[in-house]
């Protein structure tokens, strides 16, 4: 059984190993001891605080193998981006150059530098170690965030976004960045990505072109990757699309990867989840239950598992096993929130 819980100080070594394994382009986990410690500290403070509206809170979860105690993955939520540091994107728009007299009409795509997503919530930092990439673990890491957000809506904005990793190779070569580097930045993609990851974003405002960029002036290679995701990110993008996320033309300023968005009230897993009192009965859960993502309703002592649940509509109770209850750190009658792994339309 795998358990998802808030990160703790004792998880630092595992988080550092995950950061190393995630590689170049995974901006939210740079290999930097000070920054990773800061991320853990921010998260523990956020889980321990009383919140009535989204602010600078950052929630970082880890997935733990309950048998071995090994941390095999991580996933996170930023409550409101851009409140402490500027949050940049390019928006892909269009301009029309037309002359009625000459009968010429050209529509051209442009990239406009913006901060349009300031204040929205962001799901981020999802990474599953190679050893745990099996079964439903990846889906579990992704979807557990929506259950947590639905349960604690006061902590998050209605609009939720996810920045998807754009196209780059194993050496960190990004076709989109190479064009920007040649004309404006004079630094390679790994360096720019690392500086952003450690919170040094001043250079972006200083060096980024201030005016819209005509897409047709970029190299063909750079044009081809705008709005495209890294090969390893394709499964994560499909998962979010299943949840109702879509791209509204916003892309990353470094690698051109798409940013997708959805309203929390429309996210499929959040919308279909149920909250009910837990009834603990091994036999009933095993015989009549269906596999679900389950969370307790705590913040500081949050726990999530995948286990069988039998929902009794008449009594509004959710029947689970003793093993699941123990993993969730709950007792008979405590509230849980759950969503079917295979929802029926």
Catalytic site residues? 230
Give the DSSP H or E segment for 6.
Answer: strand 2-6
Q: What angle do CA 200, 206, 212 make, to 5 degrees?
A: 120
Structure tokens at 303: 């726990």
Place of tokens 């649940």: 309
60 alpha carbon, distance to own chain's centre: 10
Structure tokens at 3: 């358990």
Decide: 37 and 12 in contact? Cβ < 8 Å: yes
Distance CA 325, CA 330 (A): 5
Structure tokens at 305: 């598992």
Q: Spell 133-169 as b/e; 16+ CB within 10 A means b.
A: eeeebbbbbbbbbbbbbbbbeebbbeebbbbbbbbbe
Distance CA 202, CA 287 (A): 58
Distance CA 306, CA 341 (A): 8
Decide: 296 and 303 in contact? Cβ < 8 Å: yes
- Measured over the CA atoms of residue 66, residue 295, residue 127 and residue 131, the dihedral's sign is positive
Structure tokens at 254: 């470094």
Structure tokens at 260: 């997708």
Closest CA to 161 of 145, 172, 148: 145
Q: Where are the alpha helices (DSSP H) in the chain?
A: 12-22, 33-47, 137-151, 175-180, 189-197, 202-207, 220-225, 234-243, 268-272, 282-288, 322-328
């Amino acid at each position: 059984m795998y358990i998802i819980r808030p990160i703790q100080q004792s998880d630092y070594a595992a988080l550092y190993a995950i950061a190393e394994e995630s590689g170049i382009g995974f901006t939210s986990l740079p290999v930097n001891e000070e920054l990773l410690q800061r991320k853990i500290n921010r998260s523990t403070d956020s889980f321990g605080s009383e919140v009535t509206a989204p602010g600078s809170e950052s929630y970082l979860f880890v997935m733990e193998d309950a048998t071995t105690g090994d941390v095999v993955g991580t996933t996170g939520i930023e409550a409101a981006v851009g409140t402490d540091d500027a949050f940049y994107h390019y928006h892909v728009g269009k301009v029309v150059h037309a002359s009625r007299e000459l009968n010429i009409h050209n529509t051209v795509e442009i990239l406009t530098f913006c901060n349009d997503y300031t204040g929205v919530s962001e799901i981020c930092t999802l990474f599953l170690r190679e050893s745990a990439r099996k079964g439903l673990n990846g889906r579990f890491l992704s979807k557990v965030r929506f259950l947590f957000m639905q349960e604690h809506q006061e902590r998050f904005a209605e609009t939720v976004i996810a920045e998807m990793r754009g196209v780059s190779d194993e050496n960190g070569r990004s076709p989109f960045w190479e064009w920007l580097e040649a004309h404006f930045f004079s630094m390679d993609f790994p360096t720019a990505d690392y500086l952003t990851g450690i919170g040094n974003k001043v250079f972006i405002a200083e060096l980024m072109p201030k005016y819209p960029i005509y897409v047709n002036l970029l190299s063909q290679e750079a044009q081809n990757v705008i709005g495209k995701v890294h090969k390893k990110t394709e499964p994560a993008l499909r998962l979010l699309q299943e949840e109702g996320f879509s791209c509204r033309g916003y892309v990353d300023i470094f690698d051109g990867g798409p940013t997708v968005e959805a309203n929390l009230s429309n996210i499929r897993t959040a919308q279909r989840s149920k909250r009910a009192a837990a009834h603990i009965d091994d036999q009933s859960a095993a015989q009549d239950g269906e596999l679900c993502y389950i969370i307790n309703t705590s913040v500081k002592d949050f726990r999530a598992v995948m286990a069988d649940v039998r929902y009794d509509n008449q009594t509004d109770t959710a029947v689970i096993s003793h093993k699941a209850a123990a993993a969730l750190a709950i007792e008979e009658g405590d509230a849980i929130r759950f969503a079917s792994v295979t929802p029926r339309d």
